Amino acid sequence: MNRKDLKDYRYNQIWIEDQTEYIETQKETINKLNSTLSDMPKGSRVVYDNEVEKLAKLMDKFNELMDIVIEEKEKQKQIIESINKIEFPYRNILFKVYIQGKSLVTVASEMNYSYRDLCRKHGIALNKFDEL
CA neighbor of 69 nearest in space, from 25, 18, 3: 18
Q: What is the pLDDT of residue 116?
A: 92
Interval 80-100: pLDDT, tens: 888 889 898 889 899 999 888
Burial of 102 (0-12, 13-18, 19+ CB in 10 A): middle
Q: What is the pLDDT of residue 43?
A: 54
Q: Residue 23 in contact with residue 65, Cβ under 8 Å?
A: yes
- The answer to whether residue 45 scores a pLDDT higher than 80 is no
Domain boundaries, the chain: 1-77, 85-132
Q: What integer is the mean pLDDT of 30-45?
A: 60
